[in-house]
Amino acid sequence: MSNWAQTTNRPSESRRNKLAAAEIKSTLFDTAGALKLGRKHRPDYLMVVLMIVLSFVGVVILFSITPALTGGDNDASTKFMLRQAMFLVAGLASFFVASRVPLDFWRQHGAKLFVIALAICFVLPLMGALKIPPAYCTLGACRWISLGSLGTFQPAEFLKFGTVLFTAGFLAIRCARGELNSYRKTLIPLGVVVLAALFVLAIMQKDLGTSISLAAIVLVQLIVAGLEMRKLAAILGVGAGLAILSIIMAPHRIARVATFFGQGDATADYHINQAMIALGSGGLTGRGLGQSVQAFGWLPEAIHDSIFAILGESLGFLGLLVIVALFGLLLRQIISKVDYIENIYLRLIVAGVFSWIAAHVVLNIGAMTHLIPLTGITLPLVSIGGTSMLFIMASLGLVFAISHYTMHRKVKAEGSNEDASPISGRRFGRSRYANRSRVR
């Protein structure tokens, strides 16, 4: 092509980019500058049912092994059960609040929530090093705030919630300006912020599992936003290099990797060996509720990171298949919303929540089945943990609120007679009628 032809094509391409950005902006905001939501209709109640069922599974399995955890002390077991019940009630309350708060509130304050959460996560290890309450440290890591008799609060969960909101808002605006693939205006500023968060989590708090889940949130949101594959590959390369570096810098992570490849000593192998014994002893149908042996102090973190192994011991292989299927259905219900939402900001929130929960499920189950090295991450909604329950349910409350505004028809391939989406190059149908119950 001649230089003259190339010159004449540039304005046309620039004009097309501006038109695409303007069209994206028109799907983001209405004339008053508020989020454009469309017609409100019945939300996705199946997602709520799945959330409650999984939470109930966690409560039942916890109650079944409480005698083993407390040595038969009735007073201790009652206190333990009441605390978990309180966590569940708090989680359901956070779901209700998040589902009722106007979506524009999250757009306006998402960045502030992220900064507050990151600041708390940064200060916490410093307070722990100086032994300043209420910082709570254990096993060489300072990740918690002590709440006395109520237990502890883990601000890293708050940070993940803030990351979903902040990144969604940041990328939505960059899409509206046609700057998503710009290194200077998008990728470098976002990279600096994300690296700061990962430094706080992986280095200062020594929490690689949470770091991986936070990175997964941002990565999936970039994919859904439409980042160029070449730039995505570069980000993945940098991320892999940083992950390897963080492992090399920490002896306990090197030991976990060595254990995974069969090179660990008896002490390093203990946790995964006990997990495999629990899974194997469950057989096809399990020992039964209340019959767990590993819960009697043999399996570390039985009600936290290792809850999947306890489930396998109690419910067997068939029970685990049901649990995995429930998680699969929940994740499907979440990600299915993406192809029904025209507003890119809302799509990115849904994608972030999906990747957050999916990362936890994959990392936890993968570690307990010896498919990946141990990461020390909980199973969402099932493992005991008030902070995790609080923010996982709040994030699902956000998705539930967004499901009020999905479109009537799934995204169509280009070439249909429907209105085109400037985000994905596909096409959307009209809003659903109010009497439609859920996405199909």
Amino acid 223: pLDDT: 94
Amino acid 303: pLDDT: 80
Whether omega before 102 lies within 30 degrees of 0, making that bond cis, reads no
Sheet harboring 152-153: ordered strands across? 135-138, 141-146, 152-153
Distance CA(251)–CA(348), nearest Å, equals 36
Distance CA(204)–CA(210), nearest Å, equals 12
Residue-by-residue pLDDT tens, the chain, 440 positions: 444 444 444 455 566 556 556 656 666 776 556 777 778 888 899 999 999 999 989 888 888 887 777 766 655 666 666 777 788 899 999 999 999 999 989 999 999 999 999 999 999 999 888 888 888 887 778 888 888 877 788 999 999 999 999 999 999 999 888 888 888 999 999 999 999 999 999 888 888 888 999 999 999 999 999 899 999 999 999 888 888 888 887 777 787 787 777 766 656 678 888 888 889 888 888 888 878 888 877 888 878 888 998 999 989 999 999 999 999 999 999 998 888 888 889 999 999 999 999 999 999 999 888 888 888 788 999 988 788 999 999 999 999 999 998 877 764 433 333 444 433 444 333 333 333 333 33
The residues pairing with 138 across neighbouring beta strands, listed in sequence order, are 141
Contact 347, 423 (CB under 8 A): yes
Amino acid 374: pLDDT: 81
Hey, how many other C-beta atoms are within 10 angstroms of the C-beta on 229? 8
- Pick from 47, 53, 58: nearest CA to 308: 58
Distance CA(419)–CA(429), nearest Å, equals 7
Amino acid 267: pLDDT: 62
Distance CA(171)–CA(99), nearest Å, equals 22
Amino acid 416: pLDDT: 38
Q: What is the pTM of this model?
A: 0.85
Those residues whose C-beta lies under 8 Å from the C-beta of residue 61, and which sit 6 or more positions away, are 289, 307, 310, 311, 314, 382
